[in-house]
Chain A
C-alpha cells in the first residue's frame, strides 16, 4: 500500500530556507504515471497548492510561490523534496505531499501524507 511521509525541521527562522522531504513507500518515485505535489495549510486558513512535478523534471507551480520554490527528486532514496526560500511567518503551515495521477489527465491527488507542521519564527 502506498504511503507518503513528510519530514523536516519543525522550526525555521525568518529569511532562511524551509526544506522538507517526502518519502514514498509501496511505490516508485520514478513512475512516469504520476506527478508529486506539495500542498500547505496555514493555521486558520484553507489549503494552498504549492506546485507539482514529475520524476522527469516537468513541473507546474502556483504563481504566488513560483519565485521562492524549488523541487527535487532523489530516486535512490525514493524521495521528493521541497525548498521554500526566504521564508516569513506567512509560510507557517502544515505541509503535505501528495501523489497526482497524471496518467488520468486529471490533476487531483489520490494519495496524501499526514502532513508536517513548519513554524517560521526567530
Chain B
C-alpha cells in the first residue's frame, strides 16, 4: 500500500503567517489522486482540496495545494484564527485508500 508521511507533525504559527504542510508518498501517485482535509475538535473533517490543487467550492483562496509524483504541499497563505486545526492528506489513486498521519497547526 502507499504510505503517506506528513511533515511537520506540529506547526506552531501566529495568525497572519504562512503555513506550509507537506505530504510525501512512498511511491508516485497521480496528481489527480491526492486530497487534503481539515479537522477541528468535535467537528466532521472537511474536504479542502482534491486533485492535488483543486479547491472545493466555498474554501477560501488562502488555501492552495500543489505537487506531483511523491511530493505534495498544502499552503495556507495567511492564517486566520479558524484555520488552527489538524490537516491530513489522502491518496485515492491506488487501493487501499490511505491517509497521512496529519499535521496539527497550532497557535
Contacts and interface: CB of A to CB of B under 8 A. Distances in A.
A46 B96 contact: no
The SS class assigned to the B binding surface is loop
Given A46-B88, A46-B102, A107 B42 contact: no
A115 B43 CA distance: 8
Interface stretch (B44-52, B63-71, B74-82): B44-52
A22 B29 CA distance: 31
Interface in A44-71: 45-49, 52, 60-64
Nearest to A104: B50
A108 B50 contact: yes
A106 B45 contact: no
Interface residues of A, number: 25
A34 interface: no
B97 interface: yes
A85 interface: no
A108 B97 CA distance: 9
Interface of B: 32-33, 35, 37, 42-47, 50-51, 56, 88, 90, 92, 95-102
The 8 closest A-B pairs by CB, nearest first: A47-B99, A107-B92, A108-B35, A46-B101, A49-B97, A112-B44, A62-B96, A112-B45
